[in-house]
Amino acid sequence: MKNKIIIIAVTLSMVLTVSCMKDLDLIPKDPNTVMSGNVSDNPEYIRQYLAKIYASFLISGQDGGSPDIAASDPNFFTTMRAFWNLQELPTDEAMCAWGDVGIADLNTQTWSASNPFLTALYQRLGLSITFANDFIKMTAGNSDEKIARYNAEARFLRALAYYWYLDLFGNPPFTTEKDGVGSFFPRQLDENFNTGRKMLFNYIASELKAIETLLGDPGFQYPQADKAAAWMLLARLYLNAEVYTGTAKWDSCIIYTNRVINSGKYSLASDYRKNFCADNDGPSNSEMIFSWAHDGHNTNGWVGTTFIIQSCSDPVYLPSEVFHGLTDNPNWNGNRARIQFLDIMIDTIATYGNNPVPWDDDPFFEASNDNRVYLRVKKSPYIPSPGSSGDYGIGVYKFTAKLSDGTFPASFNISFANTDFPVFRYADALLMRAEANFRLNNPDDAVTDINLIRERAFGNTSGNITTAELNEKFLLDERAREFYYEAHRRTDLIRFGQFTDGSYTWAWKGGVMEGAQTSNYRNVYPIPAEEIAANPYLKQNPSY
């Protein structure tokens, strides 16, 4: 079994509420249950509690069952699944065909504060922060070196949850281990949106710097968070600093990408597809820095990469059993890309000359020299309506449950993928540094990093660019080509001023076929309406 099973599998029930019983050492009736007051009695219990925090970002609850938050479909509203939808569906990279409440609003950038995916992610990030706060308080000051490192990992996970809050919601309520557990209304750092967002930005940066030396060295025990994971989160924070605070921090982004790149622990995988197969985990893949680890037997549920694989499959054009190997509950026929994204992925003039793109003759775009293209034309490349069948559009089969050689893992499960979901990989360190150097008027350095990515993509130097060819549009497009379906796109479009009211539009953006600009207040999501109604101290985001 992979080491990652130990990290994600949670076998003990954690009771996280404050006990009202005097005897906190009471032995539970179930010998496999650990009461909250007994967690610190055994280092193994502490490790399993930490596993619970990691798992809270991926599965619905204990062992994928017994959801931590009640929902009509617990898998539907897990953290990574909701996060992926919020990052991808409002963009050119994805459009979901399903009629579930809230999906059409994301497809067309017409959401309201009542969208259930917003509520789900908001509440689940808050739950992960609550778990982390309790763990951090419980392990604070522990002299055991391993427990001190666990404490730092929990602080990293809390910082990551706050980063996603910062990016998606802007100015969320804020709590730490100092607030304890109990009935109280958490407050925002400041009622003013811009002030509160800047204060949260500064807090996340200070937390990550404080734990940097306490975390394990780069690559010490995949998939646990280590120094490199903290450096990548700091780099991404500074990459988007101008969006979050109004002040660019390109130099700081370079500082932390340099630490990752110069660590000597990471490199580009020789094959791009290696990052999205069942053997993409850290020990066998030098590109993976931090991920949400999946195991087909221990992270059961229609979540994470299993969700991505199945939702992109269909019985006619991309059957799961052929492209992905999953044969139980396959071919959901939901997610596909819009034609404008295909225009970014394929240089049609270079590939097909001045002739029309031959949809029928080359449906998988095998004429493309860029080996990152895992797309195909479905019934038609055009999506005729927001509610049309998943048979229309551009199919995506980037993630697979198979190994990189096309065979199946020894522990293969026909229902659930073993494929880890990359949160930070080495290619992003290179492209973040390239963008920062471009912004600082160092185009030669930027092109050097970009061409490393493109040489892997093309297999040679034929795809390399020159400084004269480098501009903002190229940088944004190159990130799309490298990171599509990895939940980067919304954040990238916002940073380049193209998510809402920019010059770039795509099919059904704004609810019209040809695409239209939307209001820039939608660069952040609203705080869910039910949270505003329940907490008298919360102030809704501007214009919602």
**Digit-coded pLDDT (tens) for 410-434:** 889 999 999 999 999 999 999 999 9
Please name the residues in contact with 469: beta carbons below 8 A apart, sequence gap of 6 or more.
Answer: none
Tens digits of residue pLDDT in 308-342: 999 999 999 999 999 999 999 999 999 999 999 99
pLDDT given at position 74 = 80
Q: Count CA atoms within 13 Å of residue 239 on its CB side.
A: 29
What token pair was written down for 475?
């940088």
pLDDT given at position 32 = 54
pLDDT at 19 over 80: no
| CB burial of residue 310 (10 Å; 0-12, 13-18, 19+) | buried
pLDDT at 476 over 90: yes
Q: What is the mean pLDDT of residues 72-83?
A: 90
pTM over 0.85: yes
Tens digits of residue pLDDT in 385-405: 988 999 999 999 999 999 999
CA 90 centroid distance within chain: 15
pLDDT at 23 over 60: no
pLDDT at 29 over 50: no
pLDDT at 514 over 50: yes
pLDDT at 30 over 80: no
pLDDT given at position 510 = 97
Tens digits of residue pLDDT in 279-302: 999 888 999 999 999 998 888 889
pLDDT given at position 411 = 85
- The rounded percent of the chain whose pLDDT value lies above 70 is 91
What token pair was written down for 237?
């924070």
Tens digits of residue pLDDT in 137-177: 999 999 899 999 999 999 999 999 999 999 999 999 999 99
Which band of pLDDT confidence, cut at 50, 70 and 90, is reported for residue 307? Answer: very high
Element (DSSP H or E) covering residue 305: helix 304-311
pLDDT given at position 8 = 35
Which band of pLDDT confidence, cut at 50, 70 and 90, is reported for residue 26? Answer: very low
Q: What is the mean pLDDT of the chain?
A: 91
Total count of residues recorded for the chain = 544
What token pair was written down for 145?
């070196």
pLDDT at 33 over 80: no
Which backbone phi and psi does 503 adopt, to 5 degrees? -80, -15
Please name the residues in contact with 46: beta carbons below 8 A apart, sequence gap of 6 or more.
Answer: 39, 40, 135, 138, 139, 147, 150
What token pair was written down for 451?
């061409």
pLDDT given at position 63 = 58
pLDDT at 2 over 50: no
